């Protein structure tokens, strides 16, 4: 029977981050990951010789303010992490050949918006300036245990800008856009961009997304990881190893062992028991708490099971191509991180988001998103060739057949998305394909226990599940009531979704409980 100080159930980027900090704090740490590659959503694959594709996370923004990166609290660079910037995060290309680019530069973005509406450009500048000023407060909270939701609202209510933010937070992205802007192009641009948080822009409680997006996109260049997102995972593992920890792959945990009200280890699928002297970090989806932990309060288990998932799922396609796409809208879109291809029809876009919730999608009204990281990172593809990431929203579960219907419908949907994408390009046909890999919500569900029913963000991102309410108030401090020494980490915890390296906050809570001087592991407190 092996003994460790801390045993970690699940090797996603959040859990690996928590493990790295606890190992840095002096604990003997073991991470157990069920898959052959750790990382959860921060992984890479090779679909053809010389090509590196990212089937999940492929662009980084939300993690950049995290002190793990910004303050070099973890020696990620020493272990191979190299980030490559884009100077524009997101672009929309419309069927009529027009388009809108969101640059890191606020001035350039306002110039782009002014081509459609000078009034919108002026309003945008004011809102973005306020969002940039507020970002240090919001981003600092992303790397630490969250304020109680009521406390955050009370703090915001002390200023006029804060009160406006609270109003927008409780409203929807669509409400915010309708209230402030007139141009169809800008509204569509941000409806789709905010939709990348996997929530319908008309869902109440999503309005904060718009402000966070503006603050982040004008404060930080978006980045990709040189050589593939897997190298972020490899760097986290390198940190764990440097600090004396261990990561064990293809090792699936059956349950958390609880003795005398304390988490004392885990039992593996093969019956092996691994002891944890101090505690367990568990990437257990709130829906599955009762499956892994015996003896919990039934009311807690029920409350966790009623957590809402995101409004839609994702169909990700990876291509190895003979050449990179060129857009009819112009060459300036080539090196934007995310290029959205869409019809200039708000009613259609709204209906499609609604269709996803209802378990359907219209394959004649698509809006593919294209990312070609090999344009800025030549290591991802042989000379002259391209590694392309083609992405689209879709229902997590079909109205007829549920999530398993993706088994039959996946290729049909993927083909329709590829066909639609080609219409916006001057140089794309099927002959450009060297290799192709398709993943659907069903694939995501099978890949990670954190992606229940294909929810790649863990759970929904409305105000009901933000900050001190994520996933529910009783679990938002990373601890599980009734079991000491058990801590939660994953995309379903604050700060949630995307690649945030949010396990830093879990580790901070643990160090506080264990009476470890925070300065041993953290330079920004």
Domain annotation covers residue 117: no
Query: Model confidence over 320-377: pLDDT tens digits?
Result: 999 999 999 999 999 899 999 999 999 999 999 999 999 999 999 999 999 999 999 9
Total tally of structural domains belonging to the chain: 1
- Which of 2-6, 317-321, 372-376 has the weakest average pLDDT? 2-6
Longest alpha-carbon distance in the chain = 69
Query: Is 80 exceeded by the pLDDT of residue 464?
Result: yes
**Is 293 inside a domain boundary?**
yes
pLDDT confidence bin for 140, thresholds 50/70/90: confident
Q: With 0-12 CB in 10 A as exposed, 13-18 as middle and 19+ as buried, what is 400?
A: exposed
Q: CB-based contacts of 63: which residues, under 8 Å, 6+ apart?
A: 69, 498, 499, 500, 501
CATH number at residue 471: 3.50.50.60
pLDDT band at 2 (very low <50, low <70, confident <90, very high): low
User: What is the residue range of 512's domain?
Assistant: 3-41+64-74+225-308+456-520
What gap in Å lies between CA 518 and CA 151, rounded to an integer?
Answer: 24
- As a whole-number percent, the residues of the chain with pLDDT over 70 amount to 100
- The pLDDT mean for the chain works out to 96
Q: Is the pLDDT of residue 1 over 70?
A: no
Q: For residues 409 and 397, what is the distance between their CA atoms, to the nearest angstrom?
A: 11
Indicate whether 32 belongs to any domain: yes
Cα–Cα dist 69/72, whole Å:
5
Instruction: Confirm whether 187 is domain-assigned.
Output: no
Statement: residue 184 has pLDDT above 80: yes
The token pair that represents 472 in the structure block: 């529910």
Answer whether residue 240 is part of any domain. Answer: yes
Give the C-alpha separation, 487 to 499, whole Å.
Answer: 19
User: Does 45 score more than 60 pLDDT?
Assistant: yes
H/E segment holding residue 258: strand 253-259
* Over residues 468-491, mean pLDDT: 97
Q: Is position 248 within any domain?
A: yes
In a domain, 506, yes or no: yes
What phi and psi, each to the nearest 5 degrees, are found at residue 346?
Answer: -65, -40
Within-domain flag for 356: no
Candidates 356, 378, 376, 375; CA nearest to 365 is: 356
The region of weakest confidence among 138-142, 188-192, 232-236, 480-484 is 138-142
């Amino acid at each position: 029977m092996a003994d460790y100080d801390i045993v970690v159930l699940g090797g996603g980027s959040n859990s690996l981050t928590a493990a790295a900090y606890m190992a840095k704090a002096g604990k003997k740490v073991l991470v157990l990951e069920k898959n052959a590659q750790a990382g959860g959503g921060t992984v890479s694959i090779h679909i053809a010789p010389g090509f590196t594709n990212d089937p999940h996370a492929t662009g980084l923004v939300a993690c950049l303010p995290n002190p793990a990166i910004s303050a070099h609290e973890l020696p990620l660079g020493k272990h191979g992490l190299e980030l490559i910037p884009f100077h524009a995060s997101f672009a929309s290309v419309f069927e009529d050949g027009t388009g809108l680019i969101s640059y890191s530069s606020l001035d350039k973005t306002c110039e782009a918006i002014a081509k459609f509406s000078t009034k919108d450009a002026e309003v945008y500048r004011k809102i973005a300036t306020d969002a940039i000023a507020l970002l240090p407060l919001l981003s600092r909270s992303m790397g630490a245990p969250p304020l109680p939701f009521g406390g955050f609202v009370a703090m915001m209510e002390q200023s006029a800008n804060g009160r406006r933010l609270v109003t927008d937070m409780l409203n929807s992205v669509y409400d915010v856009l309708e209230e402030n802007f007139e141009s169809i192009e800008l509204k569509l641009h941000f409806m789709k961009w905010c939709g990348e948080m996997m929530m319908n822009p008309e869902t109440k409680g999503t309005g904060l997304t718009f402000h966070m997006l503006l603050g982040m996109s004008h404060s930080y260049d978006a980045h990709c990881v040189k050589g593939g997102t897997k190298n972020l995972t490899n760097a986290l593992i390198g940190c764990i190893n440097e600090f004396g920890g261990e990561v064990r792959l293809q090792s699936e945990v059956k349950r958390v062992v609880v003795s005398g009200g304390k988490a004392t280890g885990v039992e593996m699928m093969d019956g092996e028991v691994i002891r944890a002297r101090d505690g367990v970090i568990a990437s257990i989806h709130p829906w599955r708490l009762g499956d892994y932990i015996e003896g919990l309060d039934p009311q807690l288990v029920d409350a966790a099971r009623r957590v809402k998932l995101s409004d839609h799922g994702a169909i990700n396609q990876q291509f190895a191509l003979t050449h990179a796409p060129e857009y009819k809208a112009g060459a300036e879109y080539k090196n934007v991180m995310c290029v959205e291809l869409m019809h200039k029809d708000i009613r259609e876009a709204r209906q499609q988001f609604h269709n996803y919730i209802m378990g359907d999608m219209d394959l004649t009204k698509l809006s593919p998103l294209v990312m070609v990281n090999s344009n800025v990172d030549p290591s991802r593809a042989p000379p002259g060739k391209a590694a392309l990431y083609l992405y689209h929203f879709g229902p997590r579960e079909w109205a007829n057949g549920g999530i398993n219907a993706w088994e039959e419908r996946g290729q049909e949907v993927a083909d329709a998305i590829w066909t639609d994408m080609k219409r916006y390009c001057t140089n794309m046909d099927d002959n450009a394909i060297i290799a192709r890999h398709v993943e659907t919500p069903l694939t995501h569900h099978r890949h990670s226990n954190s992606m229940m029913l294909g929810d790649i963000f863990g759970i929904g991102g409305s105000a009901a599940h933000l900050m001190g309410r994520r996933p529910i108030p009783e679990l938002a401090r990373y601890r599980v009531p009734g079991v000491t020494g058990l801590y939660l980490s994953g995309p379903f915890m604050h700060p949630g979704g995307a690649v945030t390296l949010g396990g830093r906050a879990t580790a901070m809570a643990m160090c506080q409980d264990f009476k470890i001087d925070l300065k041993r592991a953290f330079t920004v407190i």
